[in-house]
Chain A
Amino acid sequence: MNTVNLTCIGCPLGCQIEVMMDEEGKILLVTGNTCPRGEKYARKEVTAPTRIVTSSVRLYGSRNGERMVPVKTASDIPKGKIMDVIRDLRGVSVPCPVHIGDVLIRNVAGTGVDMVATKEVE
């Protein structure tokens, strides 16, 4: 049996949640949460945790001398892929202008998710 300890992020209370799982990763028991949101969070967090990844990439040809443009994954990606996504951004350099929502990298790190710009740069 496996036990995973989590801090709930649903509210400032920050419940310490304990999730007990069997050998196959099936959830047996969730304890420590004080509301249903905590259980929902814990179940997702131990089975398929996901994150939006944000970073920045180099830029060239900016009229006002900006050097970087911030980016994000267009949707959640598996938590375990965060560093792969970051690795795919190394050495990337994009031309100006860039608009919010422009796809700068398709299917980043094979996640099926695109990396999009989050700032207007001329």
Chain B
Amino acid sequence: MERKLYNLIVIGGGPAGLAAAAAAWDAGERSILILERDTRLGGILNQCIHNGFGLHTFQEELTGPEYAQRFIDQVEEKGIACKLDTMVLSVAEGEDGSKEVTAVNEKDGLLLLRAKALVLAMGCRERSRGALNIPGFRPAGIFSAGTAQRLVNIEGYLPGRRVVILGSGDIGLIMARRMTLEGAKVLVCAELMPYSGGLKRNIVQCLDDFGIPLKLSHTVVRIEGKERVEGVVIAQVGPDRKPIPGTEEHYDCDTLLLSVGLLPENELTIGLGADISRITNGPVVNESLETSVPGVFAAGNVLHVHDLVDYVSEEAQLAGKKAAEYIAACGDAMSASASGKERIPVEFEGGIRYTVPSMIDPDRIDGWLKIRFRVGDVMTSRKVVLSLNGQPALTKKRRVMAPGEMEELVLTRKLLDAYSSLESVKISIEEDQ
């Protein structure tokens, strides 16, 4: 069956997809289609009604929907085509190197599309109770923090009156405040790790402001109730993260919110056959944010989970621009692959868990490239050292680094140009005396 051809298809109309599409347009590409499964653009920002978005991008504090609207306006002004309420079922590589996208919606039915390049911007989803092994029945009243956020902010329902929160990720913290404002009593926020996974600002303004205790090194060991949650038992955990007998505390509650991590949503990426990182659960990408499948780019939470949407937008702009460049280089025949050259792996040590990108071709970096990474533990008084060909090229002092806060290093053209042939790139974290 004939597939309708676009130059670029962007999968996902959240912050990453919108920014990627707009950047591809700005780079000269005009044949673009955004596919979004929700009935409106903006993605998860639509339910993030709190403020604090856009400090880096717009130098002002916006709420989620306001931030999204800035990018929706750009896409609409440019006249970029969008299909809403449209679910992508699969993506595959065609014989001629084009990408085949199969999607479905109520209006068109089955949609068979083809593109010269794709930007994957499907975002992430929340880790669920099933991943945690908490004993007990399966009563009503257990929600992921994001589900509760949707119920309160979009649907207008309060999912419970007495609430315990497990996990101190940002969505859990935000919901502690939101549920309190809507009249619920949030009893405690328990965090398995000895540090919070959320931003400091959220701990102060969402927990401290309302006197909600944060119990670090604690977890839920039992959920009580058969039809509806009636209580939970929380216990302290040791350094091995196992509950310490005798430390159990019972809380009477009707609701348990889980804020226990986000997982990039890569079923389509896996179906396509792109390499996936076992650390980030996102695709492995190069300096152009291109996956192991030439012409398929990725950005935002589908690539690795971000703390700030500002960085998602910035990352997605690079993916959109590079996708447009790839299409331009392809010509009409789709024969010339933009990839192929052996790339230099970005090596790392000293507590770094991963880097994005994980390999680079210095010739394809225009101006600068941000290498983003996360550390595996809280560290103080360190320096981040970037070594090129085994020699320190850049040092950045960091008084504190935490797993919950993404780090970045900027690799500039100027730095790269100092080396006629680049053979190795390494980022290490060292003690800073």
Docked complex: B163-188 residues within 8 A CB-CB of A: 181-182
Q: Is the pair B181, A82 in contact by a Cβ cutoff of 8 Å?
A: yes
Q: Which of B201-209, B237-245, B246-254, B308-316 contacts A (4 or more CB under 8 A)?
A: B201-209
Docked complex: A25-71 residues within 8 A CB-CB of B: 34, 51-56, 58, 64, 66-68, 70-71
Q: Is the pair A56, B153 in contact by a Cβ cutoff of 8 Å?
A: yes
Interface 1/0s, chain B 377-404, versus A by CB < 8 A?
0000000000000000000000111101
User: Which of B69, B153, B200 is the one whose CB lies under 8 Å from A68?
Assistant: B153
A101 — nearest CB in chain B belongs to which residue?
A: B66
Q: Is the pair B49, A56 in contact by a Cβ cutoff of 8 Å?
A: yes
| A7 partner residues in chain B, CB cutoff 8 A | 200, 203-204, 208
Docked complex: B132-190 residues within 8 A CB-CB of A: 152-156, 181-182
| B399 partner residues in chain A, CB cutoff 8 A | 13, 34
| B204 partner residues in chain A, CB cutoff 8 A | 6-7, 9
Q: Is the pair A12, B405 in contact by a Cβ cutoff of 8 Å?
A: yes
Q: Is B40 an interface residue (CB 8 A)?
A: yes
User: Which of B40, B182, B203, B209 is the one whose CB lies under 8 Å from A51?
Assistant: B209
Please, how many angstroms separate the alpha-carbon atoms of A15 and B148 in the complex?
31
Interface 1/0s, chain B 56-94, versus A by CB < 8 A?
000001110110010000000000000000000000000
Decide yes or no: A70 and B69 within 8 Å by CB, A7-B200, A7-B203, A64-B40 being known contacts.
no
The tally of residues in B whose CB lies under 8 Å from a CB in A reads 33
Interface 1/0s, chain A 7-18, versus B by CB < 8 A?
111011110000
The range of chain A's interface size is 20 to 34
Q: Is the pair A64, B401 in contact by a Cβ cutoff of 8 Å?
A: no
A67 — nearest CB in chain B belongs to which residue?
A: B156
Q: Is the pair A70, B49 in contact by a Cβ cutoff of 8 Å?
A: yes
Q: Is the pair B155, A118 in contact by a Cβ cutoff of 8 Å?
A: no
Please, how many angstroms separate the alpha-carbon atoms of A54 and B51 in the complex?
7
Q: Is the pair B69, A100 in contact by a Cβ cutoff of 8 Å?
A: yes
Q: Is the pair B154, A119 in contact by a Cβ cutoff of 8 Å?
A: no
Q: Is the pair B201, A86 in contact by a Cβ cutoff of 8 Å?
A: no
Q: Is the pair A119, B181 in contact by a Cβ cutoff of 8 Å?
A: no
| A58 partner residues in chain B, CB cutoff 8 A | 156
Q: Is the pair A68, B205 in contact by a Cβ cutoff of 8 Å?
A: no
| A83 partner residues in chain B, CB cutoff 8 A | 181
Decide yes or no: A70 and B63 within 8 Å by CB, A52-B51, A54-B51, A56-B153 being known contacts.
yes
- How many A-B pairs have beta carbons closer than 8 Å: the answer is 80
Please, how many angstroms separate the alpha-carbon atoms of A85 and B399 in the complex?
39
Q: Is the pair B200, A9 in contact by a Cβ cutoff of 8 Å?
A: yes
Q: Is the pair B154, A68 in contact by a Cβ cutoff of 8 Å?
A: yes
Q: Is B39 an interface residue (CB 8 A)?
A: yes
Please, how many angstroms separate the alpha-carbon atoms of A71 and B209 in the complex?
20
Q: Is the pair B49, A100 in contact by a Cβ cutoff of 8 Å?
A: no
Q: Is the pair B400, A86 in contact by a Cβ cutoff of 8 Å?
A: no
Q: Is the pair B69, A119 in contact by a Cβ cutoff of 8 Å?
A: yes
| B402 partner residues in chain A, CB cutoff 8 A | 12
Please, how many angstroms separate the alpha-carbon atoms of A79 and B211 in the complex?
13
Q: Is B46 an interface residue (CB 8 A)?
A: yes
Interface 1/0s, chain B 118-139, versus A by CB < 8 A?
0000000000000000000000
Q: Is A120 an interface residue (CB 8 A)?
A: yes
Please, how many angstroms separate the alpha-carbon atoms of A51 and B405 in the complex?
23
| A118 partner residues in chain B, CB cutoff 8 A | 49, 62-63, 65-66
A8 — nearest CB in chain B belongs to which residue?
A: B200
A55 — nearest CB in chain B belongs to which residue?
A: B181
Please, how many angstroms separate the alpha-carbon atoms of A36 and B39 in the complex?
47
CB distance from A4 to the nearest CB of B (A): 12
Q: Is the pair B65, A119 in contact by a Cβ cutoff of 8 Å?
A: yes
| A72 partner residues in chain B, CB cutoff 8 A | 49, 51, 63
Q: Is the pair B200, A100 in contact by a Cβ cutoff of 8 Å?
A: no
User: Which of A66, A70, A86 is the one whose CB lies under 8 Å from B181?
Assistant: A86
Q: Is B50 an interface residue (CB 8 A)?
A: yes
Q: Is the pair A51, B153 in contact by a Cβ cutoff of 8 Å?
A: no
| A6 partner residues in chain B, CB cutoff 8 A | 204
CB distance from B411 to the nearest CB of A (A): 23
Please, how many angstroms separate the alpha-carbon atoms of A71 and B181 in the complex?
13
CB distance from B178 to the nearest CB of A (A): 8
Q: Is the pair A55, B203 in contact by a Cβ cutoff of 8 Å?
A: no
Residues of B within 8 A of A (CB): 39-40, 46, 49-51, 61-63, 65-66, 69, 152-156, 181-182, 199-201, 203-205, 208-209, 399-402, 404-405
Question: Knowing that A55-B182, A100-B69 are A-B contacts, what are 4 other residue pairs whose CB atoms are under 8 Å apart, sorted by A's residue number?
Answer: A7-B203, A9-B205, A13-B399, A82-B209
> Can you list 21 A-B contacts with CB-CB less than 8 angstroms, sorted by A residue number?
A6-B204, A7-B204, A8-B200, A12-B402, A12-B405, A51-B205, A52-B61, A55-B182, A56-B152, A56-B153, A64-B40, A67-B155, A68-B153, A70-B153, A72-B63, A100-B66, A100-B69, A118-B66, A119-B65, A119-B66, A119-B69
